[in-house]
Chain A
Amino acid sequence: MSAADTPLNPMNPAAPAGAGAPPAAAPEFRARFAHKNYLNAHYGIMSWLLTKDHKRIALLYLGSITLFFVVGGAYAIAIRLELLTPAGDLVQPQTYNKLFTQHGIIMIFFFLIPSIPAVLGNFLVPLMIGAKDLAFPRINLLSWYIYLVGGVITIWALLNGGLDTGWTFYVPYSTNFSNSYVVVAGVGLFITGFSSILTGLNFIVTIHTMRAPGMTWFRLPLFIWANYATSLIMILGTPVIAITLLLVAMERVLHIGIFDPRLGGDPVLFQHFFWFYSHPAVYIMILPGMGVVSEVISTHSRKNIFGYSFVAFSSLAIAVFGFLVWGHHLFTSSQSVYAGMIFSLISFAVAIPSAVKVFNWTATLYKGSISYSTPMLYALSFIGLFTMGGLTGLFLAALGMDVHLTDTYFIVAHFHYIMVGGALSAYMAGLHNWWPKITGRMYPEGWGRFAALVLFVGFNLTFFPQFLLGYMGMPRRYHAYAADEPLWQVLNVMSSAGASVLALGMLIPAIYLLWSMRYGAFAPPNPWPATGLEWRTLSPPPTENFATTPIVTWEAYEYRPVEEMEVIGAGDVRPVQPMGGTISTSDS
């Protein structure tokens, strides 16, 4: 494969600054090759393990969450294989219970929650606001280590006996009945929680205090707004799940009756505690995705986002309302009817900001200059799938409907439309959109588009039938399902077939992205071109991001011809000061 396979040149019209076509840009290439960037500033394993550079930490996260994603994906494949036939004939029931529990735990706590914030957010937040790094670089590195320690402990629990409580840890099953490694896994997740708290803290402080001159709140890219809202949820919600897991561990070890009705405890209280975090956690997963999509839609249609402030404030509205709706997970849990009504009402209210975003994205396309690049394809499919996922959420917010649908495959389909169709599509969109910035190389556009299509088809084939299965009554977390319902098997086979297409759709990007890191065409500073500050530095950026602190004089998403968008420090190939030099001085 050569650079000719990558139809980039049309995207890259302005040779003078951006340097697209190889012959004209040969000197540029050499210059870029020579420039000191965050990747070649230091070599050796320790330079990565002890780095305080937010961009390197982002890559450490990228590597680790990819590993966890592969493990979680393998569990998913096993689940879909088991469900090919109604009888539970592939694995033992106990094994199956561990499969779906571990799939959920790994995908939620170790992939989805850190995915966009810890990888793209870490990489982009300082770049987008014109800062040299996050406010607390050492805390940033610490949060990766905490994530890793939590991950290792959890994986250890999963390998040595596994966990069979479901990712929801419902008591009293988890405290008094399960024979699996609940306490160890709980400790692992407890620790991982601090990683997410520290990331959120870092983002909030960075966004408040480290914006470049002229970067006012309403000039911030919407990705920053989304991450800000996400960070609020992380710092306010995560401690509650931490304390909840602590209580579960205490109850399991000491049997003091915290959640045991025989000793005066209340098992439903656990569900309130759990969902007080875990519902907002859903927004931790989707809000950054919405931020990515705002960026990508704007960049690849060269239009400023329609209704910028509405999109920005809807992120905050989602974060705030998100804390008030946890009770909609408890409609059938013997919660009072009136509590159910209030939670239902607020749940409908929280749907509105999401709808506002969808309409604004769609309106952004109007009279734009729309390119069919890979990130754009992912972003457009995000809008469609998220719309489906969001609207099916209305089914579940409606009290009388939820009674029939909760705990069935309808739920499974709904949250996969949000989590996979939404968050994962957005993650892929973001990864492709910023891949040139992260690695300094272009990914192969043709393969990218193909994979996006495969993913879209595979996804719908996997999860659409589950809506139907759910309404027909198939319960979730079932190792074997009714054999006297012929349609159930048909739909399950479709779903399993879709899962294999989906797996292929993930495998292709894994291959070509790895390939492109070595063989991809060199990326100019601003390949699309886009307006954010991150595109006004070199690709890949130097260690401290900008040669000189940028001064922002333009509004967000102000598209101009490329030659007018100067690259701050372009051509400046002076070696950037190695970041390691500051370790001794800043060690107070």
Chain B
Amino acid sequence: MSAADIHLTEADAHAATALQHHFDNMEQQREAGALGMWVFLLTEIMFFGGLFTGYVIYRMYNAASFAAGSHHLNVRLGALNTVVLICSSLTMALAVYYAQTGSRRNQIIFIILTMILGATFLVVKAFEYADKFEHHLFPGLGFQWTEHLPPGATVHGVQMFYWIYFAMTGLHALHMIIGLGIMAFLLYFAWRGRYTPEYHAPVEISGLYWHFVDIVWIFLFPLLYLLGAHLH
């Protein structure tokens, strides 16, 4: 207890323990945290952006193959996952709301709900991946394509689609797993009553991250799942 002690007299005791020594006040600390997350999300956009660029270019080269590869994906599961993630964004937003209004019980409920929805997403994804492995659709490891190839499509092109599919959804799933880790962390501190109307920045900035990961999926779903809709 050192630098924080000085502030103890001038600020609410609860907030003071949360104030790090190098910030002047809670406002500054919250602002820094939120801006930090926004900057981090910019980095994330560029990170996914590289793959999106790869997607755009290779889809231009292999439009028919991409449609064929996409046709094989399970649109129903993809749509289900989209709904699940949108719901999880809602529960996350509510968790932030209850952190702001100071309801510990509701905070915990909605963080748990968010985690359940996130886990549901990953389980569905795992089933989808298992199906792809079963059908030898993992690029590089004995990739096989036994289905019909529409005119202009090539097996190489379909493999090209599948590595992009795995790279993008894999990277997204990794972000989901990290997100679940963050949620577990929030849950622990929410349980201990750490987040109050005065101090709830971690819930807010984790919320930003969670929404970002959801938004990435909103882009991934049509780009990956809906290309082959016209192939019947």
Question: Which residues of A are in contact with B by a Cβ distance under 8 Å?
Answer: 131-137, 197, 201-202, 204-206, 208-210, 235-240, 242-244, 246-247, 250, 253-258, 263-266, 269, 273, 544, 549, 577-582, 584-586, 588
Contact = CB atoms under 8 A, between A and B. Distances in A.
12 contacts: A210-B23, A235-B42, A239-B46, A242-B50, A254-B140, A256-B160, A256-B163, A263-B160, A579-B3, A582-B2, A585-B20, A588-B194
Given A239-B47, A243-B47, A585-B20, 13 more contacts: A132-B23, A133-B21, A205-B32, A208-B31, A208-B32, A209-B28, A209-B32, A254-B140, A256-B163, A263-B159, A264-B62, A544-B22, A582-B2
B102 interface: no
A266 B157 contact: no
Nearest to A132: B22
B167 interface: yes
Contacts of A266: 57-58, 61
Given A209-B32, A239-B43, A239-B44, A586 B4 contact: yes
Interface string B131-155: 0000000011101000000000010
Contacts of A242: 47, 50
Given A243-B51, A585-B1, A208 B43 contact: no
Given A209-B31, A243-B47, A264-B61, A581 B39 contact: no
Given A205-B39, A264-B61, A137 B139 contact: no
A430 to B, nearest CB: 24
A579 B21 contact: yes
Nearest to A580: B2
A235 B21 contact: no
A255 B58 CA distance: 16
A87 to B, nearest CB: 43
B148 to A, nearest CB: 19
A247 B164 CA distance: 10
A273 B51 CA distance: 10
A240 B156 contact: no
B181 interface: no
Nearest to A54: B22
A246 B170 CA distance: 13
A586 B139 contact: no
How would you classify the secondary structure of chain B's contact residues: helix, strand, loop or mixed?
helix
B45 to A, nearest CB: 8
A201 B61 contact: no
A377 B49 CA distance: 43
B96 to A, nearest CB: 17
Given A256-B139, A582-B3, A244 B50 contact: yes
Interface of B: 1-4, 17-24, 28, 31-32, 35-36, 39-40, 42-44, 46-47, 49-51, 53-54, 57-58, 61-62, 139-141, 143, 154, 156-157, 159-160, 163, 167, 189, 194, 202
How would you classify the secondary structure of chain A's contact residues: helix, strand, loop or mixed?
helix
A320 B43 CA distance: 15
Contacts of A208: 31-32, 35
A238 B44 CA distance: 10
A582 B50 contact: no
Contacts of B49: 239-240
Contacts of A244: 50
B32 A135 contact: yes
A585 B13 CA distance: 12
Contacts of A201: 36, 39-40, 43
A133 B39 CA distance: 19
Contacts of B51: 243
B167 A250 contact: yes
A412 to B, nearest CB: 29
Given A247-B54, A581-B3, A586 B36 contact: no
Contacts of B58: 264-266
Nearest to A133: B22
A266 B160 CA distance: 11
B44 A254 contact: no
B92 to A, nearest CB: 19
Contacts of B19: 586
Nearest to B62: A264
B117 to A, nearest CB: 25
A267 B182 CA distance: 38
Nearest to B31: A209
A132 B42 contact: no
Contacts of A582: 1-4, 20-21
B145 to A, nearest CB: 13
**Smallest CB-CB A-B distances: 4 pairs:** A254-B140, A581-B2, A243-B50, A239-B47
B56 to A, nearest CB: 11
Contacts of B160: 256-258, 263-265
A209 B35 contact: yes
Given A582-B3, A588-B202, A263 B22 contact: no
Contacts of B42: 235-236
A322 to B, nearest CB: 14
Contact of B43 (A136, A238, A264): A238
Contacts of A580: 2
Given A250-B167, A257-B156, A582-B3, A137 B22 contact: yes
B36 A256 contact: no
A544 B62 contact: no
A243 B24 CA distance: 38
Contact of A264 (B44, B47, B154): B154
Contacts of A137: 20, 22
A136 B40 CA distance: 13
A208 B35 CA distance: 9
B35 A205 contact: yes
Given A239-B50, A581-B1, A588-B194, A257 B159 contact: yes
Contacts of B24: 549
Contacts of B139: 254, 256
A577 B18 CA distance: 18
